[in-house]
């Protein structure tokens, strides 16, 4: 008669490690990535198990642990968001042009100003891009290796954080974009929603150095 094999249960995560991870995530100024979290925890810590334990503990509380912008962060529980909306600062209103520009940058990055204008079918004012750069949702990605060396633009982790996305590949479809307020009104002719990505473009050089014109 063969002996019945039994799987050895995983050792429980020490409470101190869970509490330390909770404190690190709570105090971080931005979503804390798995590697950064592991670096602050004792060597050999099972980070996924720690995160799962925190998420379980906060399952019925006013805060919830979410994966956003490639890291972990605490956010208000979805069912309480409506009750707290009046306490939150009023977000800066973006014009329709800025919203359309933001959507195009998100889905076509890295993208130049000329490419944005070609997709929208109208001239993009410098103010729209400057505003998006000021909000921290758009950044300079690099320069194209083409005549004129135009600057390319892309989104930032702050953009992902604001819209509750873990990665650019999680961007929603066209109807959801409208629901999020990224696109308003009638879309310009030729607008499409490609498969987004945030990898490096082989035709791009690194971002402009300090003091270089933004193009």
Each residue's pLDDT tens digit, 25-43: 999 988 999 999 999 999 9
Model confidence pLDDT, tens digit, residues 143-195: 888 888 888 899 998 888 888 888 887 777 666 666 655 555 555 555 555 55
- The arrangement of strands across the sheet holding 111-112 comes to 111-112, 151-155, 138-144, 204-205
Which residues, 6+ apart, have CB-to-CB distance to 80 below 8 Å? 62
Cα atoms found within 13 Å of the Cα of residue 88, Cβ hemisphere only? 11
Q: Which CATH architecture has domain 15-79?
A: Orthogonal Bundle (1.10)
pLDDT at position 3 over 50: no
pTM of the model: 0.58
Q: Which CATH architecture has domain 96-205?
A: Orthogonal Bundle (1.10)
Q: Hey, where are the domains in the chain?
A: 15-79, 96-205
One fold for both 15-79 and 96-205? Answer: yes
The mean-pLDDT minimum among 45-49, 61-65, 81-85 falls in 81-85
Model confidence pLDDT, tens digit, residues 100-121: 888 888 888 888 888 888 887 7
């Amino acid at each position: 008669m063969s002996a019945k094999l039994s799987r050895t249960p995983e050792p429980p995560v020490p409470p101190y490690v869970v509490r330390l991870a909770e404190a690190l995530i709570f105090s971080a100024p931005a979503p804390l990535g798995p590697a950064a979290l592991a670096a602050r925890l004792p060597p050999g810590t099972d980070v996924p198990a720690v995160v799962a334990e925190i998420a379980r503990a906060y399952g019925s509380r006013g805060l919830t642990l979410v994966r956003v912008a490639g890291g972990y962060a605490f956010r208000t529980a979805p069912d309480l968001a409506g009750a707290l909306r009046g306490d939150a600062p009023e977000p800066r209103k973006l014009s329709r042009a800025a919203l359309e520009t933001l959507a195009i940058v998100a889905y076509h990055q890295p993208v130049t100003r000329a490419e944005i204008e070609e997709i929208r079918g109208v001239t993009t004012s410098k103010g729209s891009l400057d505003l998006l750069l000021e909000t921290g949702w758009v950044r300079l990605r690099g320069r194209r290796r083409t005549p004129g060396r135009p600057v390319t633009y892309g989104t930032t982790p702050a953009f992902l954080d604001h819209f509750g996305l873990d990665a650019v590949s999680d961007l929603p479809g066209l109807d959801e974009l409208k629901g999020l307020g990224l696109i308003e009104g009638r879309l310009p002719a030729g607008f499409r929603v490609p498969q987004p990505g945030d990898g490096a473009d082989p035709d791009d050089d690194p971002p402009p150095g300090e003091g270089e014109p933004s193009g």
